[in-house]
A = this chain, B = another copy of it.
Amino acid sequence: MSALTQSFILHFGEMGSKWGFNRTVGQILGLMIITEEMINAEQIAKTLSISRGNVSMALKELQSWRLVKTVHIQGDRKEYYTGIGDIWTMAFTVMEERRKREVEPTLTALRDVLLAEATDDKDKYAQQRVKELHDLLEQASVWSDEFQKMDAKNLQRLVKLGTGVGKVISIKDKLRKK
């Protein structure tokens, strides 16, 4: 493995742990991103100097995140792996999975709090704040849904609107007037 690859993968491992998965999972994902060919579990273990068992667990995790594809190569009994699509698709897949795993359960918990009987003023205040939080997260989910429906090309166009976020609001007003 070249020094360039090495440093990327090490950093990506750390980065991974910030994004919801552990170091090993991050490193494998990083390896797949910068490797054009498909790779098998054995190669991964050797390249990253980790145990075969660990690779198995990590691949399972990556599959649950819908970030890797499995492929069978003619005349080889091993399973081969590669990352799904391009970087944009991956990034939005990670976002969507995080929403499912983090926001969804939180929304459920918040709804429970909202359904509970608020007797005193303190509870009423608490419930109102929880309502605000709930609405915010629900709105975020709406966005995420919309993104999910778009393809990589359009996602890219939308995100590159970036420098005009301010404008978007005034556009909204214009739309309303139609």
Contacts and interface: CB of A to CB of B under 8 A. Distances in A.
Interface in A13-32: 15, 18-20
5 contacts: A7-B109, A33-B129, A139-B160, A158-B169, A168-B171
A165 interface: yes
A122 interface: yes
What secondary structure prevails in chain A residues at the interface with B? helix
Given A33-B129, A139-B159, A168-B171, 17 more contacts: A2-B119, A4-B126, A7-B112, A7-B116, A8-B110, A11-B110, A35-B126, A87-B133, A91-B136, A136-B159, A142-B162, A149-B166, A150-B165, A150-B166, A157-B169, A164-B172, A168-B168
B15 A126 contact: no
Copies in the complex: 2
A175 B169 CA distance: 13
A120 interface: yes
Interface string A111-141: 0110010111011011101101100100110
A146 B163 contact: yes
A67 B123 CA distance: 22
A102 interface: yes
Interface of A: 2-5, 7-8, 11, 15, 18-20, 33-36, 86-88, 91, 101-102, 106, 109-110, 112-113, 116, 118-120, 122-123, 125-127, 129-130, 132-133, 136, 139-140, 142-143, 146-147, 149-150, 154, 157-169, 171-172, 175
Given A8-B113, A130-B8, A175 B167 contact: yes
Nearest to A20: B18
A96 B150 CA distance: 25
A165 B136 contact: no
